[in-house]
Amino acid sequence: MREKQHEISRAYARLRRRKALLLLVLTAALVILATAAVFLGTSDIHFSGLVSYLFPDWGVRHGIVPLTGTQIVIVLTLRLPRIISAVLVGAAMGICGTVMQSTTGNVMASPFTTGISSAAGLGAAIGILFHPLGIGNTSVVVCAFGVAAINAAVVYGITAAGNLGAGGMILVGVALNFLFSSANSLLQYVASEDQLSQIVHWSFGSLTGLTWSQILLMAVTLGVAFVLFGKQAWSYNIMSSGGDESAKALGVNASRVRIASGILVTVVSAVTISFVGVIGFVGIVAPHVARLLLGSEHRILLPASSIIGALLVLAADSIGRTVISPVIIPVGVVLSIVGAPLFLYLIISRRRRSSF
């Protein structure tokens, strides 16, 4: 009996090590891709030039010309912010998608299931058309965040008051989604050509023009959310593998966890959307890819879906800004074009494999 128990222990330890190793490989891939992305783009910036800039003696010895001041400005003000935001946006969408899928028991759920993307879209349209806080990006960001927050208050307020459960919450989200989309269409109908172009461009999702302060805010929000989500890993394990009644019998107040997690997802998504627009596909796909590669245990799944989300957005953005350079294809468009076939491949190949 004791020997059999040790066998399970050893096998489980091996499985955990294998998953940790794969997580490490994914992290290394993200670091490598992020580093490579610094040197992708229309401006001719090479790794050796950067090393020569940082270590002039080494550059002189090897006869390598260091980057110019302009190139350094491009790296610091254009490429680095873009790469870091791609990583943060992808990580945020990945982890929020996982949390939404686990707490609603719906594999098609995403951070936008509760209608937040159309709410933020309406807010952005209001900002672009009426610029209540003056002409410029601030109006768009604040209005997008504000309407998204109102949407969340309505969805979670109705869900809690009516004790509607996961299914009811999704239906309330669907209803609000239609409401906000219609209001957005109405605004587009009365918008000028220039305003309409801005609204449509916003809806594509773009990583261009983010400031360091916006990036810092995204990073802090995501960091706090990451810790709080992590504390609920076992609650998510239980909620995703049984209904609310089973969770309750194990001491987990499923409706409270669902609403608290949903509000946190809303805050993270609203901050992200208000800065970069709607980048949707990754919130559904990253959790699925993470599950296919690393299983459904949330202590691993939460970081894994973040890293995979970051990888997907960063890869899509890198493709989008190099494939028909100097034209930049919006990251949301690339994600759907590249991500959908990849996702289909993973689903089909999973059927051929046994368990992980």
Partner 1 sequence: MRIELEDISFGYKKHPVFEHIRFSFDSLQFVCLIGPNGAGKSTLLKCINGIHSPTGGKVLADGEDVQKMHLIKRAEIFGYVPQFTVANPSLNVLETVISGRMPRMQGRASAADVEAAEEILTEMDLEDFALRSMNQLSGGERQRVLIARALAQEPQVMLLDEPTSNLDMHYQLETMELLEKTVREKQIGVIAVIHDLNAVLRFADLVLLLNKNGLYASGRPEDVITENTLAESFEIISTFTQAAEIPVMVPLASNKTRRTKQ
* Interface residue list for partner 1 (CB under 8 A): 1, 4-5, 7-9, 11-12, 15, 105, 107, 231, 233-235, 237-238, 240-243, 245-246, 248-253, 291, 295-297, 354-356
Pairs from 244-250 (Cβ < 8 Å, separation ≥ 24):
244/165, 244/166
CB 117 within 8 A of CB 280: yes
CB 54 within 8 A of CB 72: no
Q: Is 158 exposed, middle or buried (0-12, 13-18, 19+ CB in 10 A)?
A: middle
State which residue, 244 or 337, has the beta carbon closest to partner 1.
244
Least separation in angstroms between residue 188's CB and partner 1 is 38
State which residue, 9 or 138, has the beta carbon closest to partner 1.
9
Least separation in angstroms between residue 228's CB and partner 1 is 11
State which residue, 143 or 257, has the beta carbon closest to partner 1.
257
State which residue, 71 or 296, has the beta carbon closest to partner 1.
296
Nearest CA-CA partner of 274 in 332, 218, 216? 218
CB 166 within 8 A of CB 236: no
State which residue, 246 or 325, has the beta carbon closest to partner 1.
246
Least separation in angstroms between residue 347's CB and partner 1 is 14
Q: Is 22 exposed, middle or buried (0-12, 13-18, 19+ CB in 10 A)?
A: middle
Nearest CA-CA partner of 286 in 169, 167, 111, 104? 111
State which residue, 118 or 240, has the beta carbon closest to partner 1.
240
Least separation in angstroms between residue 250's CB and partner 1 is 4
CA distances from 189 to 103, 118, 124, 129, 173 (A): 37, 16, 15, 11, 24
Least separation in angstroms between residue 153's CB and partner 1 is 26
State which residue, 139 or 240, has the beta carbon closest to partner 1.
240
Least separation in angstroms between residue 22's CB and partner 1 is 16
Least separation in angstroms between residue 229's CB and partner 1 is 12
